[in-house]
Amino acid sequence: MNTPAQLPFEQTHLLHVAPLLRTLQSQGTVHRVRTVEGDEAWLVTGHAQVQQLLDDDRLSRTNPDPTAARDRGAAFLDSLLGSFAGNPARMRALLEPHFSAECMLALRPHVETLTEQLLDELAGQTPPVDLRLALALPLPILVICEWLGVPPQDKDRFSGWTQDAANVQDPVRSKQGMTELFGYCQQLVAHKRQNPGDDVISRLCATEGLSDNEVVGLSALLLFGGYETTVARIGTGALLLLANPEQWQTVLDDPNLIPGAVEEILRMSMPNPHNGGMPRYARTDLEIDGTTIRAGDLVLLNIIAANHDRTIFTDPDRVDVTRRTAGSLTFGHGMHYCVGASLARMQLQVALARLIARFPTMRLAVDVEELRLRHDTLTGGLVELPVTW
């Protein structure tokens, strides 16, 4: 049997799929690999297979072997989900109303106002400026404060805790961050019980049948998932357009292309490529494209590879804001499709539309090769994004 390929795969260009991942994908859809922790796993790279398995009950996030070391990413997500980990349908039913089209439409003017304020501040600075610190980081934090009902003065505290909690390299730091985040959410929920407002946490508190612990868990989940991933996507999204000036110009010439440009950016974005993929464990023996998977085996569903599958997307490594991206699996599929996708999309649309309109001559202040991705956190994203205009 061939020696398993060792994760993480070396990524020679931060905007391109790792060469070894691309090579494996050209050889088939299922591959034996070894994780950073030293465990053997099955890496699934084919679009059709990843899509099917994202909604397959034969796979679970939970390792059936209670004595085994847990994947830190999966452990972190299970901590956030709490009692909802085994009942995603109930969690979805509770959260979906807060992400409705009507709710996003009502929130959008506030997102537009915040974006303009941040771009006003950016315009007053002398370039080069770090666009991550100027826009990508503060906007989603301010939006989540307004939407959830979190006091804006607490944003620095909870953003620090969520970054610590999502750390995949330091388990002590991750546990401490999680503890602080949950402790904060307990205080927040207690306050909302006594002083309800027009916000999501207050409405969750008023939902019949939800315990305080469940509201705390959902609040922590939304506090993390509602902004950390969006921070990463705004940064990498701007970079993808700035690194491809003809695409930036295309959107500048026709702002109606923004929704499609956002979908293309989401398809091409790379949540921490060092993770290998979304971890799942086989509940029973199964077959994936002719490969037998045994009960208990670790299966990594590689969204990056699936979103760059040449059988689905023509010339998948090229940014094309006019591309049809209906097959993108960035937000998952089926029952596990990300419930917060509408909030992320709306923020990306507003942020990039206003950025391009306000700074039509913006360009990178450094070569792409000088930029770095964050590998210490689940969500990935850029360390910094220096720009000029």
Tens digits of residue pLDDT in 160-193: 888 888 777 788 998 898 899 999 999 999 999 9
Q: Average pLDDT, stretch 223-235?
A: 88
Q: Is residue 75 pLDDT above 80, yes or no?
A: no
Contact yes or no for 305/17 (Cβ under 8 A): yes
Residues 6+ apart with CB under 8 A from 331: 266, 337, 338, 341, 344
Q: Average pLDDT, stretch 23-29?
A: 96
Q: Which two tokens stand for residue 195?
A: 């002083």
Q: Is residue 242 pLDDT above 60, yes or no?
A: yes
Q: Is residue 201 pLDDT above 80, yes or no?
A: yes
> Rg of the chain's alpha carbons, rounded to an integer?
21
Q: Which two tokens stand for residue 200?
A: 């999501």
Q: Using pLDDT thresholds of 50, 70 and 90, give the confidence band for residue 12.
A: confident
Q: Using pLDDT thresholds of 50, 70 and 90, give the confidence band for residue 380.
A: confident
Q: Using pLDDT thresholds of 50, 70 and 90, give the confidence band for residue 73.
A: low
Report pLDDT for 375.
Answer: 79
Report pLDDT for 368.
Answer: 96
- Percent of the chain past pLDDT 70, that is, above it, reads 93
Q: Considering only CA atoms, which of 210, 182, 233, 184 is closest in space to residue 95? A: 210
Report pLDDT for 58.
Answer: 96
C-alpha 200/C-alpha 223 separation (Å) is 11
Among 29-33, 47-51, 68-72, 252-256, the range scoring the smallest mean pLDDT is 68-72
Q: What is the 3-state secondary structure (H, E, C) of the chain?
A: CCCCEECCCCCCCCCCCCHHHHHHHHHCCEEEEECCCCCEEEEECCHHHHHHHHCCCCEECCCCCCCCCCCHHHHHHHHHHHHHCCCHHHHHHHHHHHHCHHHHHHHHHHHHHHHHHHHHHHHCCCCCEEHHHHHHCHHHHHHHHHHHCCCHHHHHHHHHHHHHHCECCCHHHHHHHHHHHHHHHHHHHHHHHHCCCCCHHHHHHCCCCCCHHHHHHHHHHHHHHCCHHHHHHHHHHHHHHHCCHHHHHHHHHCHHHHHHHHHHHHHHCCCCHHHCCEEEEECCCEEECCEEECCCCEEEECHHHHHCCCCCCCCCCCCCCCCCCCCCCCCCCHHHCCCCHHHHHHHHHHHHHHHHHHCCCCEECCCHHHCCECCCECCCCECCCEEEC
Render pLDDT for 31-66 as a digit per residue (tens, 0 to 9).
999 998 899 999 999 999 999 999 999 999 887 776
Q: Which two tokens stand for residue 361?
A: 């001559």
Q: Average pLDDT, stretch 88-94?
A: 88
Report pLDDT for 271.
Answer: 66
Q: Using pLDDT thresholds of 50, 70 and 90, give the confidence band for residue 83.
A: low
Q: Using pLDDT thresholds of 50, 70 and 90, give the confidence band for residue 331.
A: very high
Q: Considering only CA atoms, which of 37, 40, 34 is closest in space to residue 71? A: 37
C-alpha 59/C-alpha 283 separation (Å) is 6
- Model-wide pTM > 0.85: yes
Amino acid type, 183: G
CATH number, domain 5-388, options 1.10.287.610, 3.40.50.970, 1.10.630.10, 2.30.110.10? 1.10.630.10
C-alpha 10/C-alpha 21 separation (Å) is 9
Report pLDDT for 291.
Answer: 97
Render pLDDT for 363-376 as a digit per residue (tens, 0 to 9).
999 999 999 988 77
Q: Using pLDDT thresholds of 50, 70 and 90, give the confidence band for residue 77.
A: low
Among 87-91, 214-218, 328-332, the range scoring the smallest mean pLDDT is 87-91
Q: Is residue 79 pLDDT above 70, yes or no?
A: no
Q: Using pLDDT thresholds of 50, 70 and 90, give the confidence band for residue 228.
A: confident
Indicate left, alpha or beta for 371 from its phi (over 0: left) and psi (-120 to 50: alpha). Answer: beta
Q: What mean pLDDT value characterizes the chain?
A: 91
C-alpha 57/C-alpha 87 separation (Å) is 12
Distance between first and last Cα of the chain: 54
Q: Is residue 346 pLDDT above 60, yes or no?
A: yes
